Amino acid sequence: MPSISVPTEAVKKEHEDMDEQEKEYAEQAERLGQYTAPQEDESTGSTRAVEAKFVTAQDPVIETADGGRLPAVPLDEAIKLNKLKDELEGKDPGRDIPESGFREAKDGTIHGARPEDVRDSQQSERPEAPLREQVAPSQTSPLFPPLPLYGPPSLMRSLQCLFFRTTSFFLSLQFLLVVVLGAAFTSIPNVSRWVWYRIRGLDPDADRPFYHEEIKRQKEREDAEREWVRNRKSHGDRTPATLEMHPSPASDSEYIPTEGGPDPLICDVGHYARREGLDVETFQVQTEDGFIIELQHIYNPLTHRHGTSSSHAPTSPKVFDSATSFPKPQQSPTSSSSTPPRYPVLLLHGLLQSSGAYACTGPSSLAFYLHKAGYDVWLGNNRCGLTPRHSLLSYPDPRMWAWNIRQMGVLDLAALTSRVLSVTGFPRLALVAHSQGTTQTLVALAKEQRPELGDKISVFCALAPAAYAGPLIGKAYFKFMRVISPAMFKVVFGIHAFIPFMMMMHGVLPGDFYGDMGYLVFSFLFNWSDTRWDRGLRKRCFQFAPTYVSAESMRWWLGRECFARQKCILATREEGRLEDREDEEEDEVVRKYYEGGANTNQRVGEEVRERVREMESRQGEEERGRYAWYNEHFPPLAMWVCGADDLVDGRRLLRRFDRGREPKVRVVHKKIIEGYEHLDVIWAMDCIEKVGVEIKDVVWKTMSEEDRERCRVPEGCEGMKPFDLSGKRDKSPSLHNGIDGEIHLARSQVEKQEDVRKASGAGPISPTLIQTTTGEWTGKLKENGHATKENGHAS
């Protein structure tokens, strides 16, 4: 980084030669640039801000003179820069600006950037004035308060960073130590139980739900490791490069492992892919605000050649740019032209995780299963992740860490989607997200954010969707983060990465110890267990967590202002209370209807009849749509909710859709898996049986007819009919207004499923499937080691 210096004589003279208008623009451009003029040299070039590029009405990113991008700045600062620039150049201030989006909430809160009356004489008083002339909202949404603005390097900024990095190092380390000690203390009963069982000569794991299956898989892994060592001694090493040189097989269903032996416990998705006969190529993707994030593509080295380094390098920060897109789906370089392409599926990980979460459980890994089933699987990573990178900024720069969940959704998800579509040539892809991945998607697709992104997604499969907070948010260690002020939060956790000491230890501690510590700490924090996991692979799972996240992002999750306070990602607590009151009123009407006799269509009193009319009016599409989070751009939605999840409340999100609060959302599949905890949807031993197979089917049934005709048919999807996504959903899912105002309640779940099975437009009215997970291994394992599907869904 250039040194912090005082203005040179040349800079002073240049400044003196400017008129007042030019000086004002130059000062604003320097204020928002990477470096100040005295700090620039031949190696940096000009890094001053040129203009603010509005990705959305709320996200103005800075473009520098050398073509680089800097993270978003406050609206008023961006508008001022663009206004001064346009005045100097005499250009129309409204060019290339997205429409100002906002959403009205039931409690009166305005979410997004709504135009306000302008009182300043320098600003337009027209309500239709372009965004460059509008004033930033006087009140910011309580869900997404403005991010801090850090200018170019200066002495004061350096002292500020040094102060926060020093205080946060010691204080956050103490916080981490308390968590570790708490985790160790709460594990004492389990350790005591284990010792007591061993003393008595008993197996403490005998009561685990998949005990016999765990033993079977462990033996298979040990046999495979020994066989690999023997083959290596007799035949030498096999590598993906040598396989790519071989002729293409007659079928791409052949998979030859190129790694094996004892598990080295390393943070490398490619290594574990090669153990399954696959491989990974990594693309560097540049977001619209300059972050470099990793996108990993899973492929079979027998049928696909690894791309060149230039094809994997970051491209322009522009997204969905037709100039960089391929005209049609590409064929594999080693496949015949008659081989149909695979449909792209993008997988997005959860909080403090990376793409390895989908590739660490061997054949039961969701990423490997979907590829072998017939899809083109891509693994997305969010900004910073395991290796923080930016096109202009470095780790110590606080601007590199000034982001939260909004930027992860609006910018990261858009960049990942754009790159996948650019490489594959498809107009849409299927998105599978877990936990925080669902959050950033649900935020990005909201009316006031970037709803048009939904047009690029054929189906959104949400695993353990994180829209509402679960009871775990009330734990003491989370309460501590919520009670301290925003200023104190910075003192404790800093303005850079959140507890970076955890990532430092990743490269120091042995894999065995790190994996055990990771499980111990995270199970204590998030209140889940390894009951349904393959314990022999548990250490491997925690080689990919935690990752770098910004302290600002964790403040959004756990601080006193946003998610932890509001208990929701897109609604305030007050709005939640109003919805609860509405639901209670509706349930009360149902209760009164059944008083005096059950399951009969009796005429009700005038008071109840009036209530019914009010409810029907409220459930009208126009009224419900007024306060809805999403519009017609939202893609078809499928949800898998964990029944024993204390971290998030997936049932409440289901209730939002069942009560008709999102009339534009087409829910094609929804399922509650009783007994499942937060991570079981991706790590449970039977997750392929209960989740993976259904994802495979849902993706195929929501693809367009054109894509279905030209793509490879996934295994088990032959002859499967698609969902009719053109059908309209009922305005009142739970109550229907009949003749003479009589109430017809929703029928039994069995009757609903039978109707759905017969209806051609079953997808958008899919009932909620509730699958009880008793812990016993259900279904027979296929030859490939995967479990068959236990319950069917709407088809």
Confidence band for 772, pLDDT divided at 50, 70 and 90: low
The contacts of residue 80 (CB under 8 Å, 6+ apart) are 28
Vertex 389 angle, CA 386 and 394, to 5°:
120
Confidence band for 725, pLDDT divided at 50, 70 and 90: confident
Give the chain's end-to-end CA distance (angstroms, integer).
Answer: 59
Q: 708 is written with which tokens?
A: 């279905």
Phi and psi at residue 65, to the nearest 5°: -65, -30
Residue 324's pLDDT is 53
- Please state the domain extents for the chain: 9-141, 175-566
Confidence band for 216, pLDDT divided at 50, 70 and 90: very high
pLDDT digit string (tens) for 530-574?
999 999 999 999 999 999 999 999 999 999 989 999 999 999 999
Question: What is the helix (H) or strand (E) element at residue 700, kind and residue range?
Answer: helix 693-702
What proportion of the chain, given as a percentage, has pLDDT over 90?
63
Distance CA(290)–CA(420), nearest Å, equals 18
Q: 68 is written with which tokens?
A: 């680089």
Q: 363 is written with which tokens?
A: 């054949």
Helices marked H in 425-542: 436-444, 476-483, 486-493, 501-506, 511-526, 538-541
Residue range 175-566, CATH number? 3.40.50.1820
pLDDT digit string (tens) for 480-506?
999 999 999 999 999 999 999 999 999
Out of 215-224, 231-240, 358-367, 651-660, pick the least confident.
231-240
Q: 69 is written with which tokens?
A: 């991008």
The contacts of residue 290 (CB under 8 Å, 6+ apart) are 61, 68, 69, 70, 71, 317, 390, 391, 392, 393
Q: Residue 106 CA to chain centroid, in angstroms? A: 26
Cα atoms in the Cβ-side hemisphere of radius 13 Å centred on 432: 27
- What order do you get walking across the sheet with 49-56 strand by strand? 49-56, 59-64, 69-70
For residue 519, the SS3 value is helix
Confidence band for 8, pLDDT divided at 50, 70 and 90: low
Closest CA to 36 of 135, 198, 148, 152: 152
Q: Is the pTM of this model over 0.85?
A: yes
Residue 248's pLDDT is 52
Out of 116-125, 373-382, 428-437, 587-596, pick the least confident.
116-125
Give the residue with greater pLDDT, 69 vs 603: 69
For residue 420, the SS3 value is helix
Neighbours of 197 (CB within 10 A): 15
Residue 628's pLDDT is 94
Q: Residue 23 CA to chain centroid, in angstroms? A: 43
Residue 131's pLDDT is 41
Residue 330 has pLDDT above 60, yes or no: no
Vertex 279 angle, CA 278 and 285, to 5°:
140
Residue 671's pLDDT is 96
What is the amino acid identity at position 158? S
Confidence band for 177, pLDDT divided at 50, 70 and 90: very high
Total residues belonging to the chain: 795
Closest CA to 667 of 635, 699, 630: 635
Phi and psi at residue 192, to the nearest 5°: -60, -40
Cα atoms in the Cβ-side hemisphere of radius 13 Å centred on 63: 13
Confidence band for 661, pLDDT divided at 50, 70 and 90: very high
Confidence band for 691, pLDDT divided at 50, 70 and 90: very high
Residue 15 has pLDDT above 70, yes or no: no
Closest CA to 103 of 67, 59, 64, 58: 58
Beta-bridge partner residues of 737: 743
Q: How far is CA 649 from CA 105, 464, 581, 653, in A?
A: 21, 9, 18, 7
Out of 187-196, 624-633, 637-646, 744-753, pick the least confident.
744-753
Q: Which DSSP symbol is given to 338?
A: T
Q: Residue 224 CA to chain centroid, in angstroms? A: 35
Q: For residues 51 and 63, is the Cβ–Cβ distance under 8 A?
A: yes
Cα atoms in the Cβ-side hemisphere of radius 13 Å centred on 199: 6
Residue 756 has pLDDT above 70, yes or no: no
For residue 531, the SS3 value is coil
Residue 117 has pLDDT above 50, yes or no: no
What proportion of the chain, given as a percentage, has pLDDT over 70?
76
Dihedral angle computed from the Cα positions of residues 639, 644, 645 and 646, in that order, rounded to the nearest 10 degrees: 150
Beta-bridge partner residues of 462: 433, 639
Residue 187's pLDDT is 93
Confidence band for 103, pLDDT divided at 50, 70 and 90: confident
Beta-bridge partner residues of 291: 390
Vertex 449 angle, CA 422 and 707, to 5°:
35
Residue 750's pLDDT is 37
Residue 93's pLDDT is 64
Confidence band for 223, pLDDT divided at 50, 70 and 90: very high
Out of 65-74, 285-294, 357-366, pick the least confident.
65-74
Distance CA(367)–CA(683), nearest Å, equals 12
Confidence band for 243, pLDDT divided at 50, 70 and 90: low
Residue with tokens 């449909």: 343
Beta-bridge partner residues of 52: 62
Neighbours of 658 (CB within 10 A): 17
Q: What is the mean pLDDT of the chain?
A: 83
Out of 11-25, 131-145, 246-260, 507-521, pick the least confident.
131-145
Residue 733 has pLDDT above 50, yes or no: no
Out of 92-96, 225-229, 418-422, 595-599, pick the least confident.
595-599
Distance CA(140)–CA(75), nearest Å, equals 11
Distance CA(168)–CA(170), nearest Å, equals 6
| Of the ranges 434-438, 557-561, 756-760, the best mean pLDDT one | 434-438
Distance CA(749)–CA(771), nearest Å, equals 12
Residue 598's pLDDT is 45
- Tell me the average pLDDT across 515-531: 94
Beta-bridge partner residues of 497: 550
Question: What is the helix (H) or strand (E) element at residue 220, kind and residue range?
Answer: helix 211-235
Q: 104 is written with which tokens?
A: 């009205």
